[in-house]
Each structure stands twice: as structure tokens, then as C-alpha cells.
Structure 1
Amino acid sequence: MSTAAPTTGRDTAASAPASTNRTGGRRRRPSPLTYLSSLHWTSLLYVAPALAFFGVFVLYPIGISVWYSFYDYDGLTVGTPVGWGNYTAVFTDSQLRAALLHSLVLLFFYAALPVCVGLLLAGAMSRIRVYGLTVFRAVLFLPQILSSVVVAVAWRNLLAEDGPANAVLRAVGLGRFATSWLGDFDTALPSIGVIGSWVEYGLCMVLFLSGIVAIDRSTYEAARLDGAGPVREFFAITLPALRPQISIALILTITFALRNFDLIWNTTRGGPGTTTTVPSLYVYQDAFQNRMLGRASALAIVLTVVILLVVVVVQLALREREGPRRRFTGPRTPARKVHSS
């Protein structure tokens, strides 16, 4: 009868997987070159149409914009190199600084307020069980799927001096507050902000509802057994679990606030005066009205960099920390001492 030969340490090390560390440490990550060598290049044929579309309609225009930003170019004659002159004009123009300040004001209405309202609605809907709740959710999400032009025209008529909003104020005896909301220097920018809040809160609500559905129900049951109420459940369980959805909602809403153009153009066109001007509005005016394509390109590049920086900051601030989540266990109580008889 044959017996198996004893294995040596060298044989054991040779038979171990290549990705396992001999010292028992962590597995080494494959290098990028190893990943590229194992990639089946034929699979790129399936994404080639999408890559071509992305390159022609996204990467190429960005490259052309960067090239134009270093020239004094009107789109017709030969451009004159100006170096960093267009970028210097962007950062030294007082009107552009005022437009950037307007965008910061709109961040409250377009990002902070919709996220808060979306959290409130999502938290309430997750606890309410009534007939027709699905239809109610669809109605609340409706502003997000409407065209910006339709939204702008509807609200422009609603907030007109002889519009329904002022008619309601006069009917309830508050006629002294009636005004041309989009034509007044004091109320134009907040009115634009309210319109943006109405458009964006539906998106935030749907994102938060999808996150609440994924939360383990047993966590809520344990919290109720420990005496937690609805408010404590929301801040101890729901809000921490919705960190990824909050990050996505903030990125989408902040991007919409900084690049917003069509909503403002179709309501106030930056007026009255320059009270509702934003950087994207100056990009359009410099490019298509003033024939200053170089400066418009520089402003567009600066605006893109600002949006990317804001997105990175939001992701770093709200990224989920590594490690297991703590389960809600309620308030801690001192352990009882057991006395033996």
C-alpha cells in the first residue's frame, strides 16, 4: 500500500494562490498593467459606439473650448492669442462676481431646501399607509419630468402682476403684498429660487424613498422596542442610512443650480437689471450676442472647474466611512448585578 509523501513548506508555498501573501497579510492588489493585460480588447467593440459619441459630442467640444479660451475670437475672423487674458477678465469683472453671488444664493433654494423637503416627505411617506399613495408620489415627482420651458412659462404667468398668485392674495385681504414677483428688484431672485425648489424636491424625494426601502426593517423594530419614537428613529437610523442618497441628491441639485440657464432665461432673462444674472447667462450672452467666444469659453471652463470642485467636496464630506454600521440599541442602561444566594 502506497502512502502519500509528506509535503514540505516549499511545496505548500508553491501550491498557495499567487494572490495570497505568504506572511498571512492582506492580498496585494493587481497592478494596472496586470489588469490591462487581462482585459479582452474585443469587449471594447460593444462600447465603441458610445465612446465615439462621447468623444465627438463631449470631449471634442471641451477641447475646442479650452483652445478658444486662449484667443480673442469672434467666430468669424482669425483669432488673436491673448494667453491668460480671458481668464484674468473673468476673475476681475465685477458683474461676473455679482453673478456668482447670485448662484450662491440659488444654492439654498436649489440644493439645501429641496433636500430638506425631500427628507421630510420621504420620512412621512415611509410611515404612512394610505390608499392612493403611489399616485400622490407621482404627482409630487411631476415637476422633475416637465420641460424647463414649460415650467418657466407656467410660473411666469402664475407670478405675473395680474396672475393667480396676486389674485389669491387680494381675495384673502393681503393685497398689499401683491407685486410683480419676477419684475421686482427685491423679489425676482427669491422667486426664481422658489421655482427651482419646486422643480428639484421631487427628485430628492424619490432618491430618499428608494434608500428607505433598502433599510432593514428589523432595525426599526429594535428601535421601537427600546422606546425610540418617530423623530429618534429618523435621526438615528434613517438619516445615517441615507448618506449615499443625500450625496447624490446634493451633487445633482448643486450642479443644476450652478449651470442653470433655461429657467432664468425664460422667466426674467437676467432682469430686472442684473438681479437674476448667473454665470451661465453671461456665457450665452458673450458667445451668441457679444461675439466674444474666447471670453465665453474661459468662463465656461471656470464654471466647469467650480462644479467639479463642489462635487468632489460633497463626495468627500458625505462619503461613507469604512467599517460595519452600528445598530441602534437605544439608550445604554447600567448592567444589573446578580447576587448569588
Structure 2
Amino acid sequence: MVESGKLDADDRRVLHALQLDPRASFARIGTVLGLSERTVSRRYHRLRSQLILRIVGHEQTGRADWLLQIMTAPAAVDAVSRALAARRDTSWIAHLAGTGGLSCILRTTATAGDALEQLRRMPGIGSVTAQRLLAPVAGVGGWPGRLQALTPEEQRALIEPERRAPSVSGTGRLPTDEPLLSMLAADGRMSIARLARGSGMPESTVRRRISELTARGVLMFEVEVDPKLYGRGTDVLCWLTVRPAAVRAVSEALNAHSEVAFAATTTGDSNVMAILELTDSEALHHYLADSIGALAGVERVRTEIVSDWIKRAGPLPMLRR
């Protein structure tokens, strides 16, 4: 296992490059970074095999993200956690230290009525509070703490080929895309050859459909990296109650904070939620007192330390081949 602080400079550069273009070939990354294709491949597969790096493909259209806070009987926490983790529509399942409850993202239809009612009826669940995530306001391109390894020139060299692609092309999601999307959810960098075998499509069709679905915003890729690799060992969920007139200014401020891995506006009693990555509890104290405390319009703050992540971005990983 790679320990906190053990990433070398080239590891960080490769991770930054993958954040900019998650499916970029190892050859192209190597060319831009001045590394051999073999070196890039070896570093990627080392981190991935240790389950501390993962790239996940998400279907975006026709879906809504709901942040759930779930209270369970103490004896039922493990069983409920396993049941939630097995679902295809859940991600970022966390066990919360303060309440002993669970938090997770449910990705479903905008109304979500049936899915939420089904969850509330699950054995062992006492209560479910749901907040619709309205608009992401920070961390959309990845946590800023891992986006500092490449020079501006290197970043442009990786991004510009994507910008040259047409913004919209081809068709939206088709029923025949389901196998392809399912495989990319399990491994966003799965090879074209494996995707073709699993989907029954020709390789040329697979390449075209990934390009079309990405261009249309149907498909996006999330790079999941253990923040401990960057010395951030304390994960915190933070709910802010912000005066409506200050939401935009607070959102812009959060987007500039290196501690914020992700933030979004929400429905519910609090109207902004954030996931924080911090070194320790003392850093949390200073962040709340100095950074959040300096934001005009923040009326109330609630935090929960994550004791462990049960599931992160994508489906539970299978054994590596």
C-alpha cells in the first residue's frame, strides 16, 4: 500500500493528467509528461491494484443526485451498509462518527419517490432524510489538492485535443448503450477491446459511442483517489445554512478553498453541503474558524467526521484479473 506522503513527483503528475483526461492513452500522457508509456502504465496499475485509484464512468442525463442521511439501529448498521453498497444507484456511502448513522448519494430520477420509499422500508432503517443536490459549485473538475502537479503548458497539451472535438455529435443514450455504460461504471479505463467483447459492439462503434456520449454530457468520468496519499486523513461532511442573497458569493469562495473536495447547493434545512479533505481535527478547527467564519452570509454550520467510507464513486470493485 502506498502510504500518505509516499507519492513521488511523477505519481502526482500522472494523477493530475488522468484528472484532466481520464481516458487519455498512456502514450499520450507519457509524451506530454516526458515519461515512457511503460512508466505511466506501471504507475497507474500499481495505484489501481492497491484500490487507492479508480476511474468511474457515470451516466448523467435523466438522473438526479440525492444526499441521504440514514439512521439505523446500531446492530443493523453493517447489514444496511452492505445492502446499500450492493445497489447500482448508490455511491459515496459513509459511516458517520458523530451520529453513528450513514450518509450516501442516491442517483435516481428527479422525483425519486419510489426509490426513497423503497429505502425507507428496508429492514433496520429508522429514518431517511433526503436532500436533492441542485448544482455543483466546487470540485467539479476534481479536488484542487491533486491538481497542482502539472505546468500550465502540460495541462493545455492534455486538454486541447479534447477541446478540438465537436461539442455535440451523434445521438444521445440508446438502449444498446446499457452494457457499455455498465462496464465503464465498473472501470472507466477499460480497454476498447474488452468493452467491445462485453458489449457486443465493434471496436469502432465503442470508440464512437464513448466520444458521442461524452460530448453530449450523457457520460462523464470521475477520478477517485485516496486523499491520504496527499496527507489528508480526515474526511468531513459539512452542511452550511446560507442566506439566499449570499449563496453565490459563498459558492465562489468554497470553489477557491483547497480543503473543499466537492460542494453543491441543496434542498432542505441547509442549502449548501461540502465534502472536506483535511489533515486532522486541528485543521478542521482552523478551517471552520478562519475560512468559513470569514464568509458573510453563513448563518449555521453542521459537520460530521467520516469514520470510514463503505463505498466510493462506483460499484464495489471486483477482484483484479
Give me the TM-score of the superposition, normalised by structure 2: 0.22
Normalized per residue, the structure richer in helix is 1
Work out which of the two has the higher radius of gyration on C-alpha atoms and give 1 or 2: 1
Give me the TM-score of the superposition, normalised by structure 1: 0.21
